[in-house]
Amino acid sequence: MGRYIRLTGLMMKNCLIREMQFKTNFLVRLLTEFMWLGMQFIYIGVIYGQTNSIVGWSMWQMVVLAGTNHVITQLFEALFYDNCIRLTDQIRQGDLDFNLIKPINTQFLVSLRYTDYSSIANSTIGLGVIIFALNKLSVTVGWGDAFLFAALVVNSVLIYYTMLFTLSVWTFWIGRSNNLMELYWQFGQFSRYPGDIYPWLIRAMLKTVIPMLIVSNFPAGVLIHKLESGWIFYGFAMGISFLIFTVWIWQKGLQRYRSASS
């Protein structure tokens, strides 16, 4: 375990050295995500320009949700997104070879190799937004809730990871999956709004097969007291089950690896 943490640190350090060479890239990515967050707020603003409350959510509650979602997606993008996208190419072009022969968990190696530092910076902006909105709502958050929120955020990041990782691993079967980015974007839509806008069937699906409501709705729910405690346990259970599933499907996929030569 200690070795894995040390390796993670080492790979993150390597990425930092790498990142320093491409400063413009860093700044532009920062700007992009910042703009995206801004556009989401315009959208929320436009919608709440038409009404004061949507399915019982006020505007600032919605902003807490958007902020939480931003923190989660940015952390996910910081740690896993690039790796998942690269993974599809590696599978297709046969570049997994060296990862497979290392005496270390292969899934670990391919999942954490690249870190995107601009996204880490961006996730803090999301945190600022949450604090600002909570202030507007005059909600105070105790240490217990704050800790639970953090734990659920980690859980959500892992759920995002398991979903995108599974989609990447599909490349073993279908040969290409460059729609990944688009899919991530489209699944992401579901986590941006309160689950209550959906009818029960869709809501049930979004809490099981495509757990996009566990992501963002759960952690934000803790902060604005919109989550019953039973769901918390369920959320963690789902996160762990999904993680186990990726371990299984990764092994299955590797059996189909063809290691195409360049």
Partner 1 sequence: MSTAAATISKTPFHKYWVILSTRTQEDMAYRANYVFGAIFRFLPLVTLIFLWYAVYQARKAGGGDLTIRGMTFQDMITYNVLMYVARGFSSVPGTTSDISKDIKDGLLNRYLIKPINYLWYQVMYRLAHKLVFWYVALFTFPPIFFLMRHYFSHTPTLLEWGTFVISLFTAFSIGMLFCSIIGMLAFWFLEISTFLFVIMMIEFFLSGQMIPLNILPASMQPFLTFSPFGYEGYWPCMILMGKVPQTQLPQLLGIGFLWVGVFYLISLVIWKMGLKRYSAVGG
Partner 2 sequence: MPIIEVENLSKIYRTQKRLPGLGGAVQGLFNRQYTEVRAVDGVSFNIEEGELVGFLGPNGAGKTTTLKMLSGILYPTSGTVKVMGFTPSERKNEYRRQFALVMGQKNQLWWDLPAQESLYLNKEIYGVSDEAYKHVMDEMTELLQVKKLLGIMVRELSLGERMKFELIASLLHKPRVLFLDEPTIGLDVVAQKNIREFIKDYNRRTKTTIILTSHYMNDIQALCERVVVINQGKKVFDGMLDAVVEQFSQTKLISVTFKNGGVSREQLTSLGEVMELTKVKAVLKVPRENVKKASNAILTDFDVDDINIEEVPIEEVIERMFKEGVK
Q: Residue 12, Cβ neighbours under 10 Å: how many?
A: 17
Q: Which is nearer to partner 2, 97 or 196 (CB)?
A: 97
Exposure b/e, 209-246, CB count within 10 A at least 16 = b: eebbbbbbbbbbbbbbebbeeebbeebbebbeebbeeb
Site string for partner 1, 44-83 (x = CB under 8 A): --xx--xxxxxx----------------------------
Q: How far is the CB of 156 from partner 1 (least distance, A)?
A: 18
Rg (CA), the chain: 19
Q: Does 186 bind partner 1 (CB under 8 A)?
A: yes
Distance CA 62, CA 85 (A): 30
Q: Which is nearer to partner 1, 149 or 193 (CB)?
A: 193
Distance CA 240, CA 234 (A): 10
Q: Does 207 bind partner 1 (CB under 8 A)?
A: no
Q: Which is nearer to partner 1, 18 or 102 (CB)?
A: 18
Partner that binds at residue 104, options partner 2, partner 1, none, CB closer than 5 to 8 Å by kind: partner 2
Site string for partner 1, 100-139 (x = CB under 8 A): ----------------------------------------
Exposure b/e, 111-127, CB count within 10 A at least 16 = b: bbbbbbbbbebbbebbb
Q: Which is nearer to partner 1, 28 or 247 (CB)?
A: 28
Query: 58 by DSSP, 3-state: which?
Result: strand
Please provide residue 94's backbone torsions phi and psi, each rounded to the nearest 5 degrees: 75, 30
Binding residues vs partner 1 (CB under 8 A)? 24-25, 28-29, 31-32, 35-36, 39, 42-43, 46-47, 50-55, 173-179, 182-183, 186-187, 189-190, 192-193, 197-199, 202
